[in-house]
Amino acid sequence: MNGNFLIRTFGCQMNEHDSERIGGMLRADGMTPTDDVADAGVVVLNTCAIRENADNRLYGNLGHLKPLKSRNPDLRIVVAGCLAQKDQGLIQEKAPWVDVVVGTHALPHLLDLLRRAEADGPQMDVAEYTELFPSALPAAREDAFRAWVSIATGCDNACTFCIVPFVRGAQRSRAIGDVLAEVQGLARSGVVEVTLLGQNVNTYGRDLTVPESSRRPLFAELLRRVNEVEGLRRIRFTSPHPHDFTPDVIDAMAESEKVCEHIHFPLQSGADAVLKAMQRSYRRERYLGWLERIRAAIPRIGVSTDIIVGFPGETDRDFADTLDVVERARFDSAYTFQYSPRPGTRAASLPDQLTKDVVQERFDRLVALQERISLEKAGDQVGDEVEVLVEGAGRRGGSTQARTRTNRIVHLADPLEPGTFVTARITGAAAHHLAGEVVPAAVPA
Ligand code: 5AD
Ligand code: SF4
């Protein structure tokens, strides 16, 4: 196809990764990316279903596209991602001007679907299969120096609040050799940082039949193998689940020099009763115990988390328990969410759904507490000299945004080439970023 395409991505890194593949397929087909919707022949909305406002945003966006489509009937509108998988036929019922609905498993069929839409009108593929990992499709990556690598899709857990198992299916791990081959290829093409992606990386490999492994999780082994890839400098991964976390993963992290000192470790709630109702099998003390072990093995590791406020039945006591764990865990950062009932999940039909006011008030208190801790933890870093990877231009002219191995953003005053490593001295701290200056490389005597 000729012309321009525009992709809007909502949601998590899994979706960002899928969008790179959508862009890759469209480019391979002869199209060019554009930022201007008026200029686009194909508009793709890659949707997320995890929280409430995702639905509203999709239908809002589709509303805005309707007059464009009336003016230009050749415009092709595609809805992809988790909401496509969840809402299926409802999307074209509500917005008949959508040309293609492509579910999470059917991504490799996108170009065919567009062609068929051309000839036969609106198309939908939400079949429940994954023939190909999205990583096997061509990619149009945003940056030449870093890449996401999918190691598993889907999730075998059944957290009662979560829609992911419904829209992404059961866990399917990618063969270790395939992951390694992709990372090696990326490193050869100049990528210095990879982020390994899975809903629950600890159970990676459980569904693979590997001789002599008897369904043993293989994540620690995968980390060690990726660590050996030449040319690569940084390895990140997201996310582990505290339930399946194992000491061999801590050892592999500590002993693999390319694995960054950062872990995203979703807490969800600090109250045992709520964790139980969420069907998260760990409890608060066990969670804190894991954190202690991780920090003992990897001193000064950056820790981020996810927390949901206002799960059905959450009492004032329960919420106080969450604040208490947050106080004790001292996260560097937290993604905080107000509970939103997702249709079809167990939690959506629980009694005791809380009112918006109660949830908002608790949410504000949690955010204020975490902001204080984030700022204190950032302040601890002032004076440090650390390696940072330059990611791109900063907000002020001539400035640069870089990232520490511990996943903190550092603003530098100098213009630097994205993808390069420099040493930065930390000179200032805010809750969500650091300020730094470049330490000139020592001149050999
Ligand atoms: N309501 C609010 N937050 C949710 N999350 C997942 N499902 C819901 C929901 N129904 C949050 C969890 C998860 C993150 C990606 O999104 O904290 O870890
Ligand atoms: Fe959802 Fe729980 Fe699976 Fe994460 S582990 S994707 S929260 S069901």
For 77-104, the pLDDT digits (tens) are 999 998 898 889 999 999 999 999 999 8
Under 8 Å between Cβ of 305 and 264: yes
pLDDT confidence of 169, banded at 50, 70, 90?
confident
pLDDT at 435 over 90: yes
Q: How far is the CA of 199 from the centre of ligand 2 (A)?
A: 7
Closest ligand 2 atom to residue 156 Cα is: 3
3-state class of 71 per DSSP? helix
**Residue 385, both tokens:** 């000299």
Quick: pLDDT tens for 368-425.
999 999 999 999 999 999 999 999 988 877 789 999 999 999 999 988 999 999 999 9
pLDDT confidence of 188, banded at 50, 70, 90?
very high
pLDDT at 144 over 80: yes
Nearest to 419 by CA among 376, 389, 395, 380: 389
Per-residue model confidence (pLDDT) at position 51: 76
Q: How far is the CA of 335 from the centre of ligand 1 (A)?
A: 9
Closest ligand 1 atom to residue 12 Cα is: 15
Q: Using CA positions, which residue lies closest to atom 17 of ligand 1?
A: 306
Quick: pLDDT tens for 330-357.
999 999 999 999 988 999 999 999 999 9
**How wide is the angle at C-alpha 200 spanned by C-alphas 374 and 369, nearest 5°?**
20
Q: Is 297 exposed, middle or buried (0-12, 13-18, 19+ CB in 10 A)?
A: middle
Q: Which long-range contacts (CB under 8 A, 24 or more apart) does 391-399 make?
A: 391/143, 391/146, 391/418, 392/143, 392/418
pLDDT at 134 over 80: no
- Which residue would you say has higher pLDDT here, 64 or 394? 64
**How wide is the angle at C-alpha 101 spanned by C-alphas 100 and 106, nearest 5°?**
110
Distance CA 71, CA 66 (A): 9
Q: Which of 161, 167, 333 to mutate to test the pocket of ligand 1 (most atoms within 8 A of CB)?
A: 161
Distance CA 170, CA 155 (A): 5
Residue position matching structure tokens 């249709």: 343
Nearest bound ligand to the CA of residue 159: 2
Read off the pLDDT of each residue in 181-185 and give the average, rounded to a whole number: 95
Amino acid at 91: I
Per-residue model confidence (pLDDT) at position 215: 61
**Residue 173, both tokens:** 């791990």
pTM equals 0.87
pLDDT confidence of 206, banded at 50, 70, 90?
confident
- Which residue would you say has higher pLDDT here, 159 or 52? 159
Q: Where are the beta strands (DSSP E) in 252-332?
A: 262-264, 302-309
Ligand 1 pocket residue status of 311, Cβ below 6 Å: no
Under 8 Å between Cβ of 80 and 47: yes
pLDDT at 4 over 70: yes
Ligand 1 pocket residue status of 339, Cβ below 6 Å: yes
Ligand 1 pocket residue status of 166, Cβ below 6 Å: no
